[in-house]
């Protein structure tokens, strides 16, 4: 991801239904699983794959003679035995090969699966057997050949994968297994060779290898899986992917501490040019191999890498940290004793780091008839590793569907701000690019949305941080990468926002205003992502000519009235303005504006008029997210101002997935005398709705939270300094929550990815 501050089973029967081209919403009935999630499991028809054109007939350095895979043939594992080691996959200078009964699969498709569900952290490992039993067939039906997990899972994961593969021997799901490296411990010691780091990682390697062979009992440890492991899934392990995205400062400092180290391993060795970090990686990968050999197994080995620590020089990169240290897979190689080989792998996204936008040969690289920096970057990495005879795979990529964004990418493939259809289409295009460039495979990030995830431009205002998993923030793009949406509510949202208000009932909302005035009624309800409001107006479609303003009083202070009031009226902190015309916008009073007080006055990223941020100034700012700090681009010697993502105009349409107007970013809709809106909690000034915490920003940029016993809500039509008085409601209150409910839903536009998976699937 883009770098942020550290941060035995029965198979679920799935009804085969047509996947809706626009919304991908299942028409299958819902069921509640063991975790409390309401689920919708779609049946997905997968088109036939395409034939490989490589024509290669020998793999594993010529030690396996098998033709490339033909479409429609069995993908059952057909392991080869080399030097008494069984392997179902191998890599060499010609690329990657998954050995199946139908031939060698040379482009491995997969999906990353995180360890979290809404309301829980990944270290809690709370995905239960029922969920895996539902998910595994869905992944296969979508066309994925394999899945990737980052760390050891509870025993039931391996049991479910074994059960699925035994029930589907001709088309199993292969596994890329990770070994997590303790980030906090590395950050503390700044030394990969610190004895505490080495001991912990070696033990974790041994546990992981023995777990997937079904040959270990793991004791209970906080943050780790435990239990008795008896399910052997090793026949379907396509690769080990060791480690994490390494912090470049840790790499740099560790290299300084460990200069002169070398490693000549039995199965994996470090070359003479290897850095200390590369030596450490070779030693850890050799340890994986040494434990696998005990079981007579071998499989390709790789380590996780990303652009921040890639082996290339990037003179166009404006942030020195992003090019501070490099890790080169070319300096790590398998010995003759490890016939499965090694390969290079990356987490590579189209929007970060900044050198993608400026570096010659990358930013101007032509692919498919246009300049494509993502293709240019992958081509450069491919060529670099190709010189050493290494295959290369992208083990993480994707584009999130989210209201907010965090960085700009080439060809509009930004880090958020996309509808689900846009995000799925872009992700599909990235996979096709990887295939066209001759890479060894691509793994989509990620299978499910993860509420706990944080992003650099929203994380500071999500307080208390330890409760982040208890609510969904549409502004945080990192939480919205999933192919599967994890929508709040056991049966879906309390209401849909589409301008039709017949789903607003007494039992799912409360009246907070009744009046004979310009606003006749206001109803309110909520879930873990939004506050929902329905306004019934006295005059139909008045918003076409006159603004309708809703103010929210969250924290003490203010006194600036509503937008357009000239400073008179309520103590609102944020506001939504609908009209005039069919547009709406979100605003924040300047005196509590995080951007003005922290990014502007505090960090000097842009000029701020001191008078604007005085209490009661009456100045309101459009809500927006910073997506890049001011930068100096060395290669062109220019200064770039801060870049921003504007939330306005707020998206309108329908939040109903079955609607042809569906857009998951929809925040409001209006028809006749009704205005409906759902406002993200962060947009109305909450740092954590689950504990009713409102965010206050002091003049010197200090952030604090205040408990909100009742949210003040004021509505006005045609607000001016001399216009009609605002109508105050009774406000809205809710009980804090400690647990959440949610509904799974395949995201709209998924058909685009399914089609490309079919095109590249061998």
The per-residue pLDDT for 567 is 62
Task: For 271-321, give the DSSP string.
Answer: -TT--HHHHHHHHHHHHHHHHHHHTTB---EEE---GGG-SS--TT-S-GG
C-alpha–C-alpha distance, residues 600 and 594, integer Å = 9
Task: Give yes or no for residue 701 having a pLDDT over 70.
Answer: yes
C-alpha–C-alpha distance, residues 440 and 52, integer Å = 12
Name the token pair of 101: 């009964």
Q: Please tell me the least confidently modeled range out of 159-173, 548-562, 682-696, 747-761.
A: 548-562
Q: Is residue 461 part of a domain?
A: yes
Could you tell me the pLDDT band of residue 57, with boundaries at 50, 70 and 90?
Answer: low
Helix ranges, 351-476 (H): 355-358, 373-386, 420-436
**CB-neighbour burial class of residue 295 (10 A; exposed 0-12, middle 13-18, buried 19+):** middle
The per-residue pLDDT for 54 is 42
Mean pLDDT taken over the chain: 91
The per-residue pLDDT for 19 is 34
Number of domains the chain is built from: 2
Task: Give yes or no for residue 750 having a pLDDT over 60.
Answer: yes
- Same domain for 581 and 455: no
Which uninterrupted H or E stretch holds 361? none
- The CATH number linked to 272 is 3.20.20.80
Region 653-666: what's the mean pLDDT? 97
Q: Is residue 222 part of a domain?
A: yes
Q: Please tell me the least confidently modeled range out of 90-94, 117-121, 307-311.
A: 90-94
Q: Which residue range is the domain that position 193 belongs to?
A: 31-485+747-760
Task: Give yes or no for residue 30 having a pLDDT over 60.
Answer: no
* Residues facing 628 on adjacent strands: 643
Q: Please tell me the least confidently modeled range out of 60-69, 125-134, 709-718.
A: 60-69
- Same domain for 54 and 153: yes
- Same domain for 601 and 458: no
Region 625-645: what's the mean pLDDT? 95
Task: Give yes or no for residue 17 having a pLDDT over 60.
Answer: no
Q: Is residue 14 part of a domain?
A: no
- Same domain for 531 and 391: no
The per-residue pLDDT for 205 is 98
3-state secondary structure 622-652: ECEEEEECCEEECCCCEEECCEEEECCCCCE
Region 641-648: what's the mean pLDDT? 98
The per-residue pLDDT for 53 is 40
Task: Give yes or no for residue 94 having a pLDDT over 50.
Answer: yes
Region 38-61: what's the mean pLDDT? 48
Coil, helix or strand at residue 50: coil
Task: Give yes or no for residue 402 having a pLDDT over 50.
Answer: yes
Pairing between strand 370-371 and 366-367? antiparallel
- Same domain for 501 and 480: no
- Same domain for 715 and 583: yes
Q: Is residue 516 part of a domain?
A: yes
The per-residue pLDDT for 62 is 86
The per-residue pLDDT for 6 is 27
Region 584-600: what's the mean pLDDT? 97
Tell me: the pLDDT tens digits for 311-327? 999 999 999 999 999 99
The per-residue pLDDT for 60 is 86
Tell me: the pLDDT tens digits for 339-380? 999 999 999 999 999 999 999 999 999 999 999 999 999 999
Query: Phi-psi bin for 143: left (phi > 0), alpha (psi -120 to 50), beta?
Result: left
Q: How large a percentage of the chain has pLDDT more than 70?
A: 91
Task: Give yes or no for residue 158 having a pLDDT over 80.
Answer: yes
- Asked whether 393 and 385 are in contact (CB, 8 A), the reply is no
Q: Is residue 3 part of a domain?
A: no
Task: Give yes or no for residue 262 having a pLDDT over 50.
Answer: yes
- Same domain for 302 and 219: yes
- Asked whether 173 and 146 are in contact (CB, 8 A), the reply is yes
Helix ranges, 439-578 (H): none
- Same domain for 324 and 464: yes
Region 659-671: what's the mean pLDDT? 97
Could you tell me the pLDDT band of residue 281, with boundaries at 50, 70 and 90?
Answer: very high
Q: State how far the alpha carbon of 517 is from the alpha carbons of 346, 571, 572, 650, 725, in Å.
A: 60, 21, 21, 27, 10
Q: Is residue 169 part of a domain?
A: yes
- Same domain for 444 and 551: no
Could you tell me the pLDDT band of residue 564, with boundaries at 50, 70 and 90?
Answer: confident
Name the token pair of 289: 């191999």
- C-alpha R_g of the chain: 27
DSSP 599: I
The per-residue pLDDT for 206 is 98
Q: Is residue 216 part of a domain?
A: yes
Task: Give yes or no for residue 136 having a pLDDT over 90.
Answer: yes
For 608-613, the CB contacts below 8 A with 24+ separation are: 613/699
**Residues 448, 453, 458, 461: what is their CA dihedral angle, to the nearest 10 degrees?**
130
Number of Cβ within a 10 Å radius of residue 521: 18
- Same domain for 135 and 198: yes
Tell me: the pLDDT tens digits for 437-481? 999 999 999 999 999 999 999 999 999 999 999 999 999 999 999
Q: How large a percentage of the chain has pLDDT more than 90?
A: 87
The per-residue pLDDT for 49 is 34
The per-residue pLDDT for 328 is 98
Instruction: Residue count of the chain, please give it.
Output: 762
Could you tell me the pLDDT band of residue 14, with boundaries at 50, 70 and 90?
Answer: very low
The per-residue pLDDT for 48 is 34
Tell me: the pLDDT tens digits for 496-506? 999 999 999 99
Q: Is residue 23 part of a domain?
A: no
The per-residue pLDDT for 22 is 33
- Same domain for 504 and 373: no
Q: Which is more confident, 333 or 72?
A: 333
- Same domain for 396 and 516: no
């Amino acid at each position: 991801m883009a770098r942020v501050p550290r941060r035995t089973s029965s198979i679920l029967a799935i009804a085969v239904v047509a996947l809706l081209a626009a919304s991908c919403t299942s028409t299958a009935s819902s069921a509640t699983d063991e975790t409390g999630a309401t689920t919708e499991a779609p049946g997905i028809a997968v088109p036939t794959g395409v034939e490989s054109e490589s024509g290669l007939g020998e793999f594993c350095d010529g030690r396996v003679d098998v033709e490339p895979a033909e479409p429609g043939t069995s993908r059952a594992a057909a392991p080869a035995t080399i030097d008494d080691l069984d392997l179902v996959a191998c890599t060499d200078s010609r690329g990657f090969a998954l050995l199946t009964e139908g031939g060698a699969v040379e482009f491995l498709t997969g999906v990353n699966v995180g360890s979290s569900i809404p309301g829980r952290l990944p270290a809690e490992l709370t995905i239960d057997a029922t969920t895996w039993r539902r998910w595994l067939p869905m992944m296969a039906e979508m066309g994925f050949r394999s899945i990737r997990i980052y760390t050891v899972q509870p025993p039931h994961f391996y049991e479910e994968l074994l059960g699925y593969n035994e029930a589907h021997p001709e088309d199993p799901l292969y596994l890329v297994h990770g070994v997590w490296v303790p980030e906090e411990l590395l950050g503390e010691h700044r030394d990969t060779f610190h004895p505490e780091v080495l001991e912990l990682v070696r033990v974790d390697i041994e546990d992981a290898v023995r777990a997937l062979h079904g040959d270990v009992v793991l004791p209970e440890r906080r943050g780790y899986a435990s239990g008795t492991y008896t399910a052997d899934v090793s026949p379907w392990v396509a690769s080990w992917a060791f480690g994490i995205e390494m912090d470049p400062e840790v790499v740099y400092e560790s290299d300084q501490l460990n200069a002169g180290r070398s490693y000549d391993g039995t199965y994996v060795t470090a070359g003479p040019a290897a850095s200390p970090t590369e030596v450490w990686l070779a030693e850890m990968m050799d340890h994986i191999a040494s434990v696998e050999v005990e079981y007579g197994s071998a499989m390709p080995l790789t380590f996780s890498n990303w652009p921040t620590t890639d082996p290339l020089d990037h003179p166009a990169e404006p942030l020195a940290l992003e090019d501070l240290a490099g890790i080169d897979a070319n300096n790590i190689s398998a010995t003759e004793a490890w016939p499965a080989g090694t390969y290079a792998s990356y987490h590579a996204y189209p929007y970060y780091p900044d050198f993608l936008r400026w570096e010659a040969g990358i930013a101007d690289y032509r692919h498919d008839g246009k300049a494509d920096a993502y293709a240019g970057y992958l081509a450069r990495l491919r060529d670099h590793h190709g010189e050493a005879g290494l295959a290369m795979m992208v083990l993480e990529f994707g584009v999130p569907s989210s209201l907010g964004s965090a960085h700009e990418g080439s060809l509009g493939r930004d880090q958020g701000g996309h509808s689900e259809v846009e995000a799925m289409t872009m992700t599909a295009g990235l996979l096709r690019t990887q295939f066209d460039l001759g890479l060894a495979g691509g793994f989509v990030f990620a299978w499910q949305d993860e509420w706990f995830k944080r992003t650099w431009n929203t994380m500071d205002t999500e307080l208390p941080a330890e409760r982040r998993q208890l609510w969904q923030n549409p502004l945080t793009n990192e939480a919205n990468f999933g192919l599967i949406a994890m929508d709040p509510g056991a049966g879906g949202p309390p209401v849909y926002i589409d301008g039709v208000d017949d789903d607003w009932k007494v039992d799912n909302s409360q009246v907070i205003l009744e009046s004979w005035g310009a606003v006749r009624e206001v109803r309110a309800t909520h879930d873990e992502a939004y506050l929902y409001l329905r306004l019934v107006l006295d005059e139909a479609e008045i918003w076409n000519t006159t603004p309708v303003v809703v103010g929210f009083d969250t924290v003490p202070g203010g006194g600036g009235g509503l937008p357009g009031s000239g400073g008179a009226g309520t103590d609102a902190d944020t506001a939504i303005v609908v009209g005039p015309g069919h547009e709406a916008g979100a605003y924040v009073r300047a005196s509590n504006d995080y951007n003005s007080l922290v990014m502007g006055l505090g960090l000097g990223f842009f000029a701020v008029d001191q008078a604007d941020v005085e209490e009661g100034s009456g100045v309101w700012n459009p809500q927006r997210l910073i997506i890049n700090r001011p930068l100096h681009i060395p290669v062109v010697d220019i200064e770039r101002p801060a870049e921003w993502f504007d939330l306005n105009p707020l998206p309108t349409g329908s939040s109903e997935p079955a609607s042809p107007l569906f857009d998951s970013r929809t925040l409001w809709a209006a028809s006749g005398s009704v205005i409906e809106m759902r406002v993200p909690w962060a947009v109305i000034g909450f740092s954590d709705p689950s504990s009713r915490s409102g965010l206050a920003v002091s003049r010197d940029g200090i952030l604090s939270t205040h408990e909100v016993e009742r949210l003040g809500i004021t509505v006005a039509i045609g607000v001016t300094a001399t216009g009609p008085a605002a109508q105050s409601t009774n406000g809205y209150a809710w009980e804090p929550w400690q647990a959440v409910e949610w509904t799974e839903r395949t995201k709209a536009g998924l058909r685009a990815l399914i089609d490309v998976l079919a095109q590249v699937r061998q």
